[in-house]
Structure 1
């Protein structure tokens, strides 16, 4: 239980949520959340359940249940804004990796262009996507890649009757994906 506070803080910061925002999501006061994150208050089950739900993680991730010896990775998909998002990295901060599944265009919610801090790279695994970046529009299919500064207005969505699956790398502080090769 000693590591619960730092894990809670890391999850909140990774989502870019303030204590006040998390308080509104969970119904737990900001001061209680602060005391939990600083280790000054031992969490109860009644506090951990809404926190796990808000962060989209199983409660075991908050209390760090002992390892079972099973080397397999058990990915836990989350539903966010009509998308299915599977986090592929488990550490807070730095570049994050996700598998994102966009519903077929006919079932997708209409969304406006968005902007936020960061830099994103994505690879289309399956299906086709409609990618709007500023005043440009692109249709990408399997094997195609795009990267962009997320401060530019953008929107990504399925372009067909099938779901579209993307592998996404996102750097919340604007980190770009780099490929280093050894020089002979």
Structure 2
């Protein structure tokens, strides 16, 4: 607990210095003495809401910025799955609201069976060419192209031209479209 209080003080000091404020300036603006603020920053004074609220308001930060909760390991450590010649590498933690995968399709000349299920899928071709069968349409997407579709429409994907292909796939079981931002349009 004592270490966490020191972290609050350290974050408070960094926020103050980042805004170019002296101890005296911030203390005066927050209605406390410079020595009180100094003791807070050094961890020698216990932080209370009564002291922190005026400081965070003046600094334009939230209490959450000061009281940091230790984050879990951000690395995704899930096994790669090999299925029907595909290599499927999960890129999101188990149970994430949006499933993200890097999928490598093997070279093939066979058309895979069409599937239907709840959800919405978006994918981006990383390398090679990908055939997308969507309803009665047969499309080939090149490296750098993307597609988005409702997975309740019969669909299948595979590598095109008898060569392997890789995609980045984002899937949402709730059937929610991906909302992307186009920096060129400003929207």
Aligned residues: 114
Change (3 A) 1:72 1:88: closer
The Cα shift of 1:74 comes to: 5.3
Counterpart contact for 1:121–1:145, Cα < 8 Å: yes
Specify whether residues 90 and 160 from structure 1 end up closer, same or farther in structure 2 by C-alpha distance, changes over 3 A only: same
Residue equivalent to 1:131: 132
CA contact (8 A) 1:130 1:159 kept: yes
- The alignment's C-alpha RMSD in Å is 2.8
2:146 aligned partner: 145
CA distance in 1, matches of 2:137, 2:172: 22
**Paired residue for 2:3?**
none
- 3-state SS of paired residue (2:169): strand
Q: Are 1:95 and 2:98 an aligned pair?
A: yes
Q: Which residue number in structure 1 is paired with residue 82 of structure 2?
A: 79
Contact 2:100 2:169 in 1 (8 A): yes
Cα separation, 1, equivalents of 2:123 and 2:180: 14
SS in 2 for 1:114: coil
Structure 1: distance between partners of 2:75 and 2:150:
34
What are the within-5 Å matches in structure 2 for residues 1-184 of structure 1? 76-106=79-109, 110-179=111-180
Contact 1:101/1:163 (8 A) holds in 2: yes
Q: Is the 8 A contact 2:98 2:171 kept in 1?
A: yes
Q: Which whole-Å CA distance do the structure 2 matches of 1:71 and 1:145 have between them?
A: 27
CA distance in 1, matches of 2:133, 2:80: 25
User: 5+ unaligned residues in a row in structure 2: which ranges?
Assistant: 1-72
Q: TM-score, normalised by structure 2?
A: 0.54
Q: Where does structure 1 lack aligned partners over 5 or more consecutive residues? A: 1-69
- SS for the counterpart of 1:137 is strand
Larger radius of gyration: 2
**Cα contact 2:112–2:157 (8 A) shared by 1:** no
- Determine helix, strand or coil for the equivalent of 1:85: strand
